[in-house]
Amino acid sequence: MAGKTNIKQAVIFWLITIGYMGLIFYLSSQSFHLPKLPTNFDKIVHIGIYIPLAFLFYLSLNRSGINRYVFLAAVLLTLLYGITDEFHQSFVPGRDASFGDALADFTGALLGSFAASFLKT
């Protein structure tokens, strides 16, 4: 499938990706009052949230006919979204922006793109 474009599949994958981005935005807009969690547990949550986003970006790009630098593009798009999400959180009461969170988002981006690269697409 690499190199070929199936418009219907591409649109479906992009809609799923954008929907997932919307879910992340919605969750980032919430002021959570969580019980005391282990130190840096939120970094694991960030990684877990951004693995699927990178995976979806990779598949969306691939289904759109992009087959060169897909891994890098998916990582960079995910990282860019993570950075903008951190900025967004700086305006949400009870939330803050953090370099550590952005680094965890980047880790999730690498892992998600790496996992997607093993698919025979």
pLDDT tens readout for residues 46-92: 999 999 999 999 999 999 999 899 999 999 999 999 999 999 998 98
Query: For tokens 């890098």, what's the residue?
Result: 72
pLDDT, position 4: 60
74 within a domain of the structure (yes/no): yes
pLDDT, averaged across the chain: 91
121 within a domain of the structure (yes/no): no
Task: Using alpha carbons, list the distances in angstroms from residue 119 to 1, 73, 114.
Answer: 11, 16, 10
81 within a domain of the structure (yes/no): yes
98 within a domain of the structure (yes/no): yes
In the predicted structure, residue 19 carries a pLDDT above the cut 90: yes
Two structure tokens written together for 107? 């880790």
68 CA to centre of own chain: 20
CA atoms of 17 and 72, how far apart (whole Å): 17
Question: How many residues are listed for the chain in this entry?
Answer: 121
In the predicted structure, residue 42 carries a pLDDT above the cut 50: yes
Quote the number of domains for the chain: 1
